[in-house]
Structure 1
Amino acid sequence: MSLAHDEPVASATCSRAGCRAEATWRIDWRNPRIHTADRTKTWVACDEHRDYLREFLAARDFPVAVEPLRASGAAR
């Protein structure tokens, strides 16, 4: 899933394998070995898996940013 930083979403499911919970966080990351600085990927996470997914990426020395996932119609 790739989202613009201000792009609202109607709903999203956590990116953790096997999890079907609603996502409330966005995790933007990049593999610097294969992606240029202007290209990022986005995973989404539920509260339970936010730290797990962030740590998984950080352990690989990938640049990572975590922000709340904006719901459709939410104030900006």
Structure 2
Amino acid sequence: MSDETPICSAKGCRVPAVWVLAWNNPKLHTPERRKTWLACGEHREHLSQFLGVRGFLKDVVPLQEWERRAGEDGRTGG
């Protein structure tokens, strides 16, 4: 795994990410703004639930698809 390999956002996890969880906090962000967390297969559900119960989760997309979309429209995560 190189330093460029995206890793899971779960605390203590160092596994390569395969999912992007797009979210926003409506109290802080405009409706179109998307922050991102990355998830491995094992932590996808846990992180999705964490964001979902708060009403923050907007989309869960495979990392390769997110990167393809970003390349097409110039979007960056974060």
Length-normalised TM-score, structure 1: 0.76
Per-residue CA shift, 1:2-34, capped at 9, x if unaligned?
xxxxxxxx6201000100001000000010111
> More relative contact order in 1 or in 2 (CA 8 Å, sep 6+)?
1
CA distance in 2, matches of 1:31, 1:63: 9
Gaps of 5+ in 2: 69-78
In structure 2, what is the equivalent of residue 26 of structure 1? 20
CA distance in 2, matches of 1:40, 1:52: 19
CA distance in 2, matches of 1:63, 1:51: 12
**Counterpart secondary structure, 1:53:** helix
In structure 2, what is the equivalent of residue 56 of structure 1? 50
Structure 1 or 2: larger helix share? Answer: 2
In structure 2, what is the equivalent of residue 5 of structure 1? none
Q: CA deviation at 1:41?
A: 0.2
% identical aligned pairs: 45
Contact 1:54 1:64 (8 Å CA) reproduced: no
Per-residue CA shift, 1:22-67, capped at 9, x if unaligned?
1000000010111001211011000000010010001111142101
- Equivalent pairs, count: 65
CA distance in 2, matches of 1:63, 1:17: 18
